[in-house]
Structure 1
Amino acid sequence: MRKLNILIAENDAEGKVFIKESFEGSGLFNVMAIAENGEELKSIMEDSDIFYPDLILSDVAPGYDILYYIKTSEAFREIPVITFASSSADDNIKKCQQLGAVRHFDKPDNPDRYHEFAKELYVFLSEE
């Protein structure tokens, strides 16, 4: 089973900790970086010569900017972007899908659920 390199955009401080610990602890992902917002994610990607994640996981809040940047970039447009959010606001989800998000997941509502989320995301990506 190959570990996937993942870049995450998450603006919630507690969520960052849960995601990093859960995704790395799963043995399924290598968390390359966690960006606070779309601008930070863009800087991380542009400033690295060797940086090419297998996927980007983005909270819906910075998701619009990230999706626009990724999908209009010659170098990065093939990287799948998956969004997640704690609320299932259909308009936000639809907009992200229109901008090129591969799929949307509900954000885990407790720390234990992040471990399941990592597994669920890995299985989804393995089936693609």
Structure 2
Amino acid sequence: MEADQQLLQVLVVEDDPGDVALVESAFAEHSIRSALHHVADGGEALAFLHRDEPYGDAPRPDLILLDLNMPRVDGRQALVMIKTDDRFKSIPTIVFTTSSSDSDVTSSYNAQANAYVTKPINLDDYERVISEIHNFYGHTVALPPRSSDDPAT
């Protein structure tokens, strides 16, 4: 993403406030202009994407960081709903979770996750991984264009 383009819009779907703070900190330390939006579970993520209240002015995310283990609608369910909806399936969605279970990895990729990243336990490694994700999606890849009715364009 070039410096003169709009902010990288990132939806963080995470129920642990500590993990949200780590993501925010890692993103803030880098030169990529981004806006983080946080919701606490898959149900809220879907409301955000659909712009249901209280997310009526929500931008279309350029990237979704999705935890798997959350209350109400978990990340597994949300991933399937995102990737089977023609409006949202092109949004790169990274499963970012503590689980390293082979079944979670396989089912996430089968549900069309764009990547699966196990959260590191070490703080320095955690920040490095978030920085790599941020840099990859902020500098390296071409992201799908947002629609003209998106408030963030």
TM range (shorter): 0.7 to 0.9
Aligned residue runs from structure 1 range 1-128, under 5 A: 1-2=2-3, 4-28=8-32, 30-47=34-51, 48-49=56-57, 51-61=59-69, 62-125=74-137, 126-127=140-141
Aligned length: 128
Q: Residues 25 and 115 of structure 1: is their aligned pair in 2 closer, same or farther, counting only changes over 3 Å?
A: same
Q: Aligned-pair distance for 1:26? A: 2.0
Q: Is the 8 A contact 2:48 2:58 kept in 1?
A: no
Q: Which has the higher helix share?
A: 1
Report the residue type matching 1:102 in the other structure.
N
After TM superposition, where is structure 1 displaced by more than 3 Å over at least 4 residues in a row? Answer: 122-125
Q: Percent identity?
A: 27
Q: Which has the higher strand share?
A: 1
Q: Residues 122 and 32 of structure 1: is their aligned pair in 2 closer, same or farther, counting only changes over 3 Å?
A: closer
Q: Please, which runs of 5 or more residues in structure 2 have no aligned partner? A: 143-153
Q: Residues 16 and 5 of structure 1: is their aligned pair in 2 closer, same or farther, counting only changes over 3 Å?
A: same
Q: Residues 118 and 29 of structure 1: is their aligned pair in 2 closer, same or farther, counting only changes over 3 Å?
A: farther
Q: Residues 112 and 124 of structure 1: is their aligned pair in 2 closer, same or farther, counting only changes over 3 Å?
A: same
Provide the aligned C-alpha RMSD in A: 2.1
Corresponding position of 2:149: none
What SS class does the counterpart of residue 60 from structure 1 fall into?
coil
Q: Please, which runs of 5 or more residues in structure 1 have no aligned partner? A: none
Moved more, 76-85 or 66-75: 66-75
Find the structure with the greater CA-based Rg: 2
